[in-house]
Amino acid sequence: MAAAEAGAPTNPFVASKPPLRLERGERGSGQMTERPRFFDDLAGVAGGAFSALTGLREEAEALVRSRLDEAIRKLDLVRRSELEALEQLAANARAGQEAADARIAALESRLAALEARHDGRAGQPPDASQQDSA
């Protein structure tokens, strides 16, 4: 301290004692005391209140989320993943149906051609090869 009193530069980063204050009611006496713990206690209470508010916020979010999930279940809504799976299933069924329709159309045209050929032979006399075998 003697160096600081002698006019040597002081380091502002060196910790020093908290400032001394006059106590209330003793302004004229000149008696100095250390800073009251009121502000430290107030900071502690504020920190505790902040923690409590954070907990309340998380609890409120969980409550809202559970209520929304319940409302969605009551509305009988589906999740996106379930919807996408059903869309894929419907697309596969549609493709299978189109393939089956094409196959049926091909078989029907083949049957019609066979019937036309058979009806065309019905009006003609039997072949000589068929008569020999009879």
| 52 and 83, same domain (yes or no) | no
Kindly report the number of other CB atoms within 10 A of residue 127's CB atom.
Answer: 10
Is residue 20 within 8 Å of residue 30, measured between CB atoms? Answer: no
- The pLDDT score that the predictor gives to residue 45 is 82
Q: Is the pTM of this model over 0.75?
A: no
- The pLDDT score that the predictor gives to residue 1 is 46
Helices (H), 1-134: 2-5, 38-74, 80-122, 128-133
Whether 24 is covered by a domain: the verdict is no
What is the torsional sign of CA 57, 61, 62, 63? positive
| 84 and 111, same domain (yes or no) | yes
| 72 and 41, same domain (yes or no) | yes
- The pLDDT score that the predictor gives to residue 134 is 47
- For every one of its 134 residues, what pLDDT tens digit does the chain have, with 9 covering 90 and above? 444 455 555 655 555 555 555 555 555 454 545 666 887 888 888 888 888 888 889 999 999 999 988 888 888 878 899 999 999 999 999 999 999 999 999 999 999 999 999 887 766 665 555 555 54
Local structure of 127: helix, strand or coil: coil
Instruction: Show the domain range for 72.
Output: 34-77
The tokens describing 117, both together, are: 């050929």
Rg, C-alpha atoms of the chain: 49
Is residue 19 within 8 Å of residue 35, measured between CB atoms? Answer: yes
Measured distance CA(134)–CA(132) in Å, rounded: 5
Token match 């039997």: residue?
Answer: 126
Measured distance CA(16)–CA(80) in Å, rounded: 62
| 94 and 67, same domain (yes or no) | no
Measured distance CA(11)–CA(4) in Å, rounded: 10
Report the domain count for the chain: 2
| 113 and 86, same domain (yes or no) | yes
- The pLDDT score that the predictor gives to residue 47 is 82
- The pLDDT score that the predictor gives to residue 53 is 85
